[in-house]
Amino acid sequence: MTTRRVFLGEVAGAMAVGAVGLRANAGGLGRELAGFSGTPGELARDEAYWVPIQRAFTVDRSIVNLNNGGCSPAPLVAQEAQKRHLDFMNQNPPPFALWQVQEKRAEGVRARLARQFAVSAEELALTRNASEGLQILQFGFDLEAGDEVLCTTHDYPRMLNTFKQRERREGIRLVQMQLAVPAEDEDEVVRLYESAITDRTRLILVSHVVFLTGQILPVKKIAALGRKHGIPVLVDGAHALAHFDFTLGELECDFYATSLHKWLFAPIGTGLLYVRKERIKDVWPLMAASEAEDDDIRKFEQIGTHPEAQTLAIAESLTLHQAIGAANKEARLAYLRDRWADRLLADDRVRLYTSQKPGFACCLATFGVDGMDMGALRGLLWNQHRILTTTVGFPTADGDVSGIRVSPSVYTTLEEIDRFCEVVEEWIASS
Ligand SMILES: Cc1ncc(COP(=O)(O)O)c(C=O)c1O
């Protein structure tokens, strides 16, 4: 029960937190951006619109970060919020600060995320990352020896290893299909999944965005396919949420896990697990919860003592995301991709393993150069030019390929993109 003293303590804490919070303010940015008008496509090309957004981050501009897909830096407003929430926890007895104040405030974060992504707050668990949400789902269904789980060779290694461990431990069978690169026919992708379904198929894992190529998969259709066959579809949305403009509600899927420290720009160590209300009871939590919580989404958050600072600071990143506008963000990220991709594609030795068609990819894209060592290019970019990218290797119908995955962000400048292109062009020319 909340005593008067506890309540007053909460109010005092809230006031202290609020006062410091005026230094970096996503609302101020919102007012600045509201002065601009135009369609998302027009704003994507309006550099003045992106200047205050670039300034909202504290990134070291002596480095060009083109691996924002790995995880994103948080904007100043979220960094400051996280620090003051940590200070509050340490300045007060943590059992009070954490459990009486901050855990309760996290409900506000849950409610705002639910509203933004058009689902009920009672369907969202706040996790530490996509891996946690996905493993809750991947371990949360009872499977027997011989049961099959369907996925592709392009799913994330940790998620594949999770099922491979169940193979070794419980004798299940992981069936991996080969996706086209790029896959620009949604119905063909759905047919690929359907063709692999057998009477032993118990689960389907599908990446909303393939981490290797940025390929967006038709998860709404695959979730519908799963429903038709009575098979739960677990969506790995690590790279999708807040990257391009969609809501969880419109996907009509039952199980979806994502990171928030990638494209929502929330502090590192934040993620979200969505489970449709009527399916919550069907999934065992990773850490045990009481039977009374069977239907409660919070059973997935029973992980023992942990900080709430990063969870609370999600709210600031969400406000920034709203100020930018999801559609504007999507258009800008695709514009930045096309700026480097179109330029490099002028050389006919360059291969883009990512679709540039709307709806099939957004910011994350991968390229290779015929006959050239992409690892060497990555090393050159970083060691000599302090431009960070990542190399990826993956199977295609024509054999294994390796490429460099490029992922700028809303704070990336056109000059940074152009410097990257110049280094790649000079490297190709000199090889
Ligand atoms: C497709 C995919 N799934 C899951 C993950 C795991 O995300 P996290 O490390 O945030 O848990 C990643 C990370 O990049 C990913 O790309």
Spatial distance between the Cα atoms of 385 and 383, rounded to a whole number of angstroms: 6
Spatial distance between the Cα atoms of 28 and 7, rounded to a whole number of angstroms: 30
Atom of ligand 1 nearest to the CA of 207: 1
Atom of ligand 1 nearest to the CA of 69: 14
Structure tokens at 316: 């600031």
pTM reported for the whole predicted model? 0.94
Radius of gyration of the chain (CA): 22
Substitution site in 211, 262, 310 for ligand 1 pocket (most atoms within 8 Å of beta carbon): 211
Per-residue pLDDT, 30: 82
Domain spans of the chain, in order of start: 108-319, 327-430
Spatial distance between the Cα atoms of 227 and 218, rounded to a whole number of angstroms: 14
pLDDT tens, position by position, 94-151: 999 999 999 999 999 999 999 999 999 999 999 999 999 999 999 999 999 999 999 9
Count other C-beta atoms under 10 Å from residue 336's C-beta: 26
Query: Is the beta carbon of 236 within 6 A of some atom in ligand 1?
Result: yes
Angle between helices 414-430 and 374-385 (to 10 degrees): 130
Those residues whose C-beta lies under 8 Å from the C-beta of residue 153, and which sit 6 or more positions away, are 176, 177, 178, 179, 394, 395
Q: What is the dihedral of CA 349, 354, 355, 358, to 10 degrees?
A: -130
- CA–centroid distance, 96 to ligand 1, in Å, is 33
Q: Which of 20, 19, 9 is nearest to 100 (CA)?
A: 9
pLDDT tens, position by position, 373-422: 999 999 999 999 999 999 999 999 889 999 999 999 999 999 999 999 99
Those residues whose C-beta lies under 8 Å from the C-beta of residue 18, and which sit 6 or more positions away, are none
pLDDT lower than 50: segments of the chain: 1-22
Query: Is the beta carbon of 211 within 6 A of some atom in ligand 1?
Result: yes
Per-residue pLDDT, 112: 98
Query: Is the beta carbon of 130 within 6 A of some atom in ligand 1?
Result: yes
Whether the CA torsion 141, 146, 150, 151 is positive or negative: it is: positive
3-state secondary structure of 431: coil
Query: Is the beta carbon of 131 within 6 A of some atom in ligand 1?
Result: yes
DSSP alpha helices (H): ranges in 21-46?
26-34, 40-44
- CA–centroid distance, 238 to ligand 1, in Å, is 5
Atom of ligand 1 nearest to the CA of 262: 10
Query: Is the domain 108-319 a CATH 3.30.2290.10 member?
Result: no
Q: Which of 221, 225, 229, 224 is nearest to 198 (CA)?
A: 229
Spatial distance between the Cα atoms of 217 and 98, rounded to a whole number of angstroms: 39
- CA–centroid distance, 130 to ligand 1, in Å, is 6
Fold of 327-430: Aspartate Aminotransferase, domain 1 (3.90.1150)
Spatial distance between the Cα atoms of 19 and 430, rounded to a whole number of angstroms: 56
